[in-house]
Amino acid sequence: MRQVSADFYSLSAELPDGSIYKFSQLKEHPVLIINTATKCNLAKTTFKNIKALAKTYKKLRILIFPCGQFLNQEETDEKHVTEKTIKALKALYEDKHHEELPDNEELPGAKDLKNNEEQSFQHKTDKLKDEKTEKEGKIPSNIIIFKKIKVFGSEQHPVFTFLTKHLQGTLFNTVKWNFTKFLIDENGIPSKRYGPSEPVTIDDELIKNMFSDAVIKDEL
Are both 20 and 59 inside the same structural domain? yes
pLDDT in tens, 154-176: 999 999 999 999 998 887 889 99
Number of domains in the chain: 2
What is the Cα–Cα distance from 12 to 22, expressed in whole angstroms?
4
Task: State whether 131 and 198 are in the same domain.
Answer: no
Catalytic: which of 26, 40, 43, 91? 40
Domain residues for 125?
Answer: 100-138
Q: Are residues 79 and 109 in the same domain?
A: no
What CATH number did the domain enclosing 190 receive? 3.40.30.10
Tens of pLDDT, residue by residue over 192-211, are: 999 999 999 999 999 999 98
Residue 162 sits in the same domain as residue 202 = yes
In-domain check, residue 8:
yes
Same domain, 41 and 150: yes
pLDDT, one tens digit per residue, over 129-150 is: 555 555 555 788 999 999 999 9
Asked, for residue 42, whether it belongs to a domain, the answer is yes
Percent of the chain with pLDDT over 70: 75
Is 215 contained in some domain?
Answer: no
Instruction: Classify residue 107 by burial, with Cβ atoms within 10 Å: 0-12, 13-18, 19+.
Output: middle
180 and 149 assigned to the same domain: yes
Q: Which residues contact 64 (CB under 8 A, 6 or more apart)?
A: 34, 36, 50, 85, 143, 144, 145, 146
Q: Are residues 21 and 44 in the same domain?
A: yes
CB 188 within 8 A of CB 4: yes
| Same domain? 49 vs 110 | no
- Judge if 156 and 123 occupy the same domain: no
Same domain, yes or no: 176 and 196: yes
Q: In this structure, are strands 181-184 and 31-36 parallel, antiparallel, or unpaired?
A: antiparallel
Q: Answer whether 190's CB lies under 8 Å from 163's CB.
A: yes
- Asked if residue 148 and residue 128 are part of one domain, the reply reads no
pTM > 0.75:
yes
Q: Report which of 87, 60, 85, 98 is spatially closest to residue 191, judged by C-alpha positions.
A: 60
Residue 82 falls within a domain, yes or no? yes
Task: Examine residue 217 and state whether it is found in any structural domain, yes or no.
Answer: no
Indicate whether 3 pLDDT > 60: yes
Q: Is residue 220 part of a domain?
A: no
Catalytic residue check, 40:
yes
Q: State whether 20 and 118 are in the same domain.
A: no
Rounded to whole angstroms, how far apart are CA atoms 129 and 108? 10
Residue 218 lies in a domain: no
Separation of alpha carbons 76 and 68, rounded Å: 8
